[in-house]
Amino acid sequence: RPDGPVRRAVRHSGSLLVDNIGELVTNSPGGAGGPLGLRRDVALLVEDGLVGWIGPARDAPAADRRIDAAGAAVLPGFVDSHAHLVFAGDRAAEFAARMAGEPYTGGGIRTTVGATRAASDDELRATVQRLHTEAMRQGTTTIEIKSGYGLTVADEARSLRIAAEFTDDTTFLGAHVVPAEYADRPDDYVGMVCGPMLAAAAPYARWIDVFCERGAFDVDHARAILACGQAVGLGVRVHANQLGPGPGVQLGVELGAASVDHCTHLTDADIDALAESSTVATLLPGAEFSTRSPYPDARRLLDAGVTVALATDCNPGSSYTSSMPFCIALAVREMRMTPAEAVWAATAGGAAALRRDDVGRLRPGARADLMILDAPSHLHLAYRPGVPLIRQVLHNGVPQ
């Protein structure tokens, strides 16, 4: 990638000790801490924006500053690996109609495309800023941001340019739907996505994604678009099997996708394919909540050995939430995940879905991205749904 987004400088100001941690979720298994790598009564030292040391509170080194966690739980920051934040307008009326019985079809995407094309750069940037801040307040320290509501060369490129101001994990989703002006010539649209649109988008993108679904892109178009993105160095992700069973999951596995997302309608063959691959299944329960759809059965995936991530899918149509704690609560209540599995999926799982090892875990050398809860245990994230439990967030070691 010749001109990728500039890596955000790690900000730091001396060392910082987070002391009196009652329960630390490290996600570094081994020992008695179980899959979350739980440690009790520890302290964590931040140096140069990274975790420098973790150990018993009584052995804590001196530091320039100190935060007293007062016995609370500390977790890695959430890694929200699927969000569509670059858009204009909202679709509250569409949501109300759904709650009165209308089905979700994805048809409303074109409404948001119209509003997004009409918005200025500053309006789009202000929306991303607002949602990014909202997410960070709820513990999210890494977020993927997709384009996909521009669907012209210029509007996709500017969506990604704005997204890259907020994250390194930018995703080109020019193949979200076929826009109205190409409705009767989808082959031409696919050619445009693979040609000038990809050329304009790729400098700002790390990933490419396709909505592979009836009514959006069929498997041949999806394969062609993802292959073009791979050829210019983008990693693959797929919106797959959201509205019904289909080929998206197996296409993602075939192409070595980092993640296939939604996975609401899976066959046994889909699960077998995932289990034999390194592709993560990213579940988006906010979408099932807001479209009143049946939830995917995470237990089937976990029991088969598939790596599962949880993400918000934050967008104005199918899931207008930026809250990872809300998704954790839904996953536990509706998708047969344990609280520990859901917390892992929202942190280390999201990192796996973005193929990152610098976030999602707390161990020396990892980014000091973490949250202090207003609760003694990670269990409270699911146990106390809807309650603002995030007391403090550190991003790159800096209190937010």
| Residues in contact with ligand NIG by the rule CB under 6 A | 106, 108-109, 112, 211, 239, 242, 287, 313, 315-319
CB of 78 to ligand NIG, least distance (A): 18
Round to whole Å and give the CA distance between 137 and 144.
16
Cβ distance to ligand NIG smaller for residue 293 or 396: 293
Q: CB of residue 154 vs ligand NIG: minimum separation in angstroms?
A: 20
Select 109 or 381, whichever has its Cβ closest to ligand NIG. Answer: 109
Annotated binding site: 82, 84, 91, 149, 176, 239, 242, 313, 315, 317-318
Q: Which two tokens stand for residue 371?
A: 């949250």
Residue 83 DSSP label: B
- Min. distance of Cβ 178 from ligand NIG in angstroms? 13
Rule CB under 5 A: which of 307-336 touch Fe ion? Answer: 313
Among Fe ion, ligand NIG, none, what does residue 317 contact (CB within 5–8 Å per kind)? ligand NIG
Pairing of strands 398-399, 50-56: unpaired
Q: Is 155 in the site for Fe ion (CB under 5 A)?
A: no
**Cα gap 172→237, rounded to integer Å:** 10
The residue (of 10 and 219) whose beta carbon lies closer to ligand NIG is 219
If the CB atoms of residues 171 and 250 are measured against Fe ion, the closer one turns out to be 171
Q: How many residues bind Fe ion (CB under 5 A)?
A: 1
Angle made by CA atoms 135, 205, 358, in degrees to the nearest 5: 55
**Other CB atoms within 10 A of residue 75 CB:** 24
Choose from ligand NIG, Fe ion, none: what does 106 bind? Cβ within 5-8 Å by kind.
Answer: ligand NIG
Instruction: Name the minimum Å distance from CB 380 to ligand NIG.
Output: 28
Nearer to ligand NIG (CB atom), residue 112 or residue 170: 112
User: Whose Cβ is closer to Fe ion: residue 43's or residue 135's?
Assistant: 135
In this complex, which beta carbon is closest to Fe ion, that of residue 16 or of residue 345? Answer: 345
CB of 108 to ligand NIG, least distance (A): 5
Q: How far is the CB of 127 from ligand NIG (least distance, A)?
A: 14
Tokens of 259: 């993640």
Task: Return the one option of ligand NIG, Fe ion, none that residue 211 interacts with (CB less than 5 to 8 A, by type).
Answer: ligand NIG
- Where helices occur in the chain by DSSP H, the ranges are 92-99, 109-118, 121-137, 153-163, 186-192, 198-201, 219-231, 248-254, 268-275, 285-291, 298-303, 324-334, 339-344, 350-353, 380-383
DSSP 10-78: PP--S-EEEEEEEEE------GGGTTTT-EEEEEEEEETTEEEEEEEGGGPPP-SEEEE-TT-EEEEPE
Q: Which residues are annotated as a binding site for N-formimidoyl-L-glutamate?
A: 149, 315, 317
Between 73 and 238, CB nearer to ligand NIG: 238
Q: How far is CA 172 from CA 94, 111, 117, 159, 302, in A?
A: 25, 19, 16, 9, 29
Residue 318 interacts with which of ligand NIG, Fe ion, none, CB < 5 to 8 Å by class = ligand NIG
* Residue 166 touches which of Fe ion, ligand NIG, none (Cβ within 5-8 Å per kind): none
Q: Residue 262 burial by CB count (10 A; 0-12/13-18/19+): exposed, middle or buried?
A: buried
Radius of gyration of the chain (CA): 21
Residue type, 172: F
Chain residue whose CB lies nearest ligand NIG: 317
Stretch that binds Fe ion, among 35-43, 242-250, 305-313, 323-331 (CB under 5 A): 305-313
8-state DSSP, 181 = G
Binding residues for Zn(2+): 82, 84, 239, 313
Q: For residue 304, which phi and psi values (nearest 5 degrees)?
A: -85, -5
Smallest distance from the beta carbon of 376 to ligand NIG, in angstroms?
35
Minimum CB–partner distance for residue 25 and ligand NIG (Å) = 28
- For residue 287, the partner it binds in Fe ion, ligand NIG, none, with Cβ less than 5 to 8 A by kind, is ligand NIG
CA–CA dist 52, 63 (Å, integer): 11
In one letter, which amino acid is 105?
Answer: T
Q: Within a 10 A sphere around the Cβ of 1, how many other Cβ atoms?
A: 12
Residues that bind Fe ion (CB under 5 A): 313
